[in-house]
């Protein structure tokens, strides 16, 4: 068990210490779950109020919060401080350096120093894995793939052939990289092509064969990317699908073929990005948003939760709704609907008078 003094913790989080008594800290928790060896995390108003009932001797609080009977560490950005604390107490899943006896590593694969290959992992022909990378049980690395330094792949990761992964990449359970894109074509124009071109389905759609379009591109995952559990990223049809440096992707995200995702993006759970989209740098896409194919989103934009994005938007856009529109337009639409509701209520109130007026014949 890791244990730290209150002074050591204050130094790590760059905080302001108001010490009432010494404390040895071996855990962190919300105030109501904290004991005397736990640092109580009071990041918001409700948690600060709960400090009156805590058993903890010390608490992490926002700057300006000072309590008489409790040792406090004040910080300007509590969530940033919490991140640093979690790194102090976090323990990585247990791995052993070397190749597990039950792993299968092709004779042409090249492994760097201190690489860890877990049980039932398959490393295929021509794979290159750089120093200090760890791959946990039941993962598959396809032929010709290249993986950088200091990566960590949790159990059950599936990497297809010829995938390029940079340094310090984290892949969580069930990540799939490099499946074929969802690309098909029919011999004659189908309903979708008619609807896109004409805005309507004009001809009877006859039965016809659907031909698969193979994907011969790859996937590039740049440095410092983290990808959540059961997320899937398809390989490009001809060009590579690319995920830029420092981008963080949540669980159960789908990114289609040929997409180009910029640097430092945050993509939240259950987002779906159709093929050939271009996303700029530092874009935030909130949960369950969906992006149509072949659109671009400018850098520093925010897409709201459950937005249905059907067209491109420039940089620094705040996009909400379905079909998605700029935030100001969305608010205007809400105001219009509210005003319309008031007008309907007024109309219903005066409708009997209007009807009586019409029946009297005075409106002729």
DSSP SS3 for 100: coil
Same domain, 185 and 290: yes
Total-model pTM: 0.86
Strand partners, 278: 260, 296
Ranges 22-31, 63-72, 91-100, 256-265, most confident:
256-265
Q: 78-89 and 6-13 are packed helices; what angle lies between their axes, rounded to 10 degrees? A: 120
Q: Does residue 363 register a pLDDT over 60?
A: no
Tell me which of 100, 154, 172, 257 is the catalytic residue: 257
Same domain, 152 and 267: yes
Q: From 42, 64, 89, give the residue that closes a domain.
A: 89
Rounded to the nearest integer, the mean pLDDT of the chain is 93
Q: pLDDT: is 4 or 202 the higher one?
A: 4
Q: Quick one: residue 197, left, alpha or beta (phi over 0 = left, psi -120 to 50 = alpha)?
A: alpha
Same domain, 182 and 51: no
| Confidence class for position 127, pLDDT limits 50, 70, 90 | very high
Same domain, 228 and 360: no
Q: Given CA atoms 167, 256, 266, 313 in this order, what sign does their dihedral have?
A: positive
> Of 37-41, 185-189, 236-240, 318-322, where does mean pLDDT reach its minimum?
185-189
Tokens of 344: 């309907």
| Chain segment 59-89, per-residue pLDDT in tens | 999 999 988 889 999 999 999 999 999 999 9
Total domains in the chain come to: 3
pLDDT at 343: 82
Q: Read off the CATH number of the domain in which 38 is found.
A: 3.40.1390.10
Residues in the chain: 364
Q: From 72, 89, 106, give the residue that closes a domain.
A: 89
CB 131 within 8 A of CB 115: yes
| Confidence class for position 33, pLDDT limits 50, 70, 90 | very high
Q: Does residue 207 register a pLDDT over 80?
A: no
Same domain, 232 and 270: yes
pLDDT at 132: 97
Q: What does the pLDDT average to over 96-105?
A: 95
Same domain, 315 and 343: no
DSSP string, 179-196: EPP--EEESS--HHHHHH
| Confidence class for position 193, pLDDT limits 50, 70, 90 | confident
Same domain, 271 and 340: no
How far is Cα 362 from Cα 364, in angstroms, rounded to an integer?
A: 5
Domain of 364? Answer: 332-364
> Of 32-36, 110-114, 193-197, where does mean pLDDT reach its minimum?
193-197
For residue 233, give every residue at least 6 positions away whose Cβ sits within 8 Å of its Cβ, in sequence order, or none. Answer: 176, 177, 178, 219, 221, 227, 241, 243, 255, 259
Q: What is the 3-state secondary structure (H, E, C) of the chain?
A: CCCEEHHHHHHHHCCEEECCCCCEECEEECHHHCCCCEEEECCCHHHHHHHHHCCCCEEEEECCCCCCCCEEEEECCHHHHHHHHHHHHCCCCCCCCEECCCCEECCCCEECCCCEECCCCEECCCCEECCCCEECCCCEECCCCEECCCCEECCCCEECCCCEECCCCEECCCCEEEECCCCEEECCCCHHHHHHHHCCCCCCCCCCCEEECCCCCCEEECCCCEECCCCEEECCCCCCEEECCCCEECCCCEECCCCEECCCCEECCCCEECCCCEECCCCEECCCCEECCCCEECCCCEECCCCEECCCECCCCEEECCCCEEHHHHHHHHHHHHHHHHHHHHHHHHHHHHHHHHHCCCCC
Q: Does residue 201 register a pLDDT over 80?
A: no
Q: What does the pLDDT average to over 272-293?
A: 98
Task: Provide φ and ψ at 176, rounded to 5°.
Answer: -125, 120
Portion of the chain with pLDDT greater than 70, in percent: 98
pLDDT at 361: 66
Q: What does the pLDDT average to over 334-338?
A: 81
Tokens of 160: 């297809």
Q: What does the pLDDT average to over 45-51?
A: 94
pLDDT at 286: 98
Q: What does the pLDDT average to over 156-160?
A: 98
Strands of the sheet containing 164-165, edge to edge, are 110-111, 128-129, 146-147, 164-165, 219-221, 241-243, 260-261, 278-279, 296-297
| Confidence class for position 199, pLDDT limits 50, 70, 90 | confident
Same domain, 147 and 227: yes
Active site residue 106: no
Same domain, 148 and 34: no
How far is Cα 242 from Cα 257, in angstroms, rounded to an integer?
A: 9
How far is Cα 26 from Cα 154, in angstroms, rounded to an integer?
A: 26
pLDDT at 235: 98
Same domain, 249 and 277: yes
Alpha helices in 135-285 (DSSP H): 191-198
pLDDT at 303: 97
Same domain, 147 and 287: yes
Q: From 89, 112, 142, give the residue that closes a domain.
A: 89
Same domain, 248 and 185: yes
| Confidence class for position 299, pLDDT limits 50, 70, 90 | very high
> Of 8-22, 194-208, 228-242, where does mean pLDDT reach its minimum?
194-208
CB atoms within 10 A of CB 136: 23
């Amino acid at each position: 068990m890791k244990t730290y003094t209150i002074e050591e913790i204050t130094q790590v989080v760059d905080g302001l210490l108001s010490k009432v008594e010494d404390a040895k800290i071996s855990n962190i928790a919300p105030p109501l779950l904290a004991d005397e060896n736990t640092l109580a995390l009071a990041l918001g108003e409700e948690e600060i109020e709960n400090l009156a009932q805590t058993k903890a001797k010390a608490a992490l609080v926002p700057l300006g919060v000072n309590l008489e009977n409790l040792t406090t560490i004040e910080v300007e950005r509590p969530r940033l401080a919490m991140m640093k604390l979690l790194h102090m107490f976090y323990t990585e899943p247990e791995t052993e350096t070397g190749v597990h006896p039950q792993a299968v590593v092709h004779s042409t694969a090249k492994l760097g120093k201190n690489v860890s290959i877990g049980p039932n992992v398959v490393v295929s022909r021509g794979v290159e894995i750089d120093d200090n990378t760890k791959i946990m049980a039941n993962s598959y690395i396809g032929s010709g793939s290249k993986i950088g330094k200091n990566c960590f792949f949790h159990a059950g990761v599936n990497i297809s052939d010829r995938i390029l992964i940079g340094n310090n990449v984290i892949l969580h359970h069930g990540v799939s990289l490099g499946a074929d894109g969802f690309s098909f074509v029919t011999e004659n124009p189908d309903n979708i092509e008619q609807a896109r071109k004409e805005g309507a389905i004009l001809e009877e759609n006859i039965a016809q064969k659907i031909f698969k379009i193979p994907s011969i591109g790859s996937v590039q995952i740049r440095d410092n990317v983290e990808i959540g559990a059961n997320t899937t990223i398809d390989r490009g049809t001809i060009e590579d699908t690319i995920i830029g440096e420092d981008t963080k992707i949540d669980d159960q995200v789908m990114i289609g073929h040929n997409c180009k995702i910029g640097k430092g993006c945050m993509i939240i759970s259950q987002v779906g990005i159709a093929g050939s989209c271009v996303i700029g740098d530092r874009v935030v896409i909130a949960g369950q948003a969906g992006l149509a194919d072949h659109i671009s989103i400018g850098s520093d934009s925010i897409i709201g939760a459950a937005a249905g994005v059907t067209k491109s938007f420039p940089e620094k856009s705040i996009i909400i709704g379905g079909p998605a529109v700029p935030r100001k337009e969305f608010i205007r639409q809400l105001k219009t609907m509210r005003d319309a509701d008031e007008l309907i209520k007024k109309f219903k109130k005066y409708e009997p008078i209007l009807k009586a007026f019409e029946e009297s014949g005075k409106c002729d």
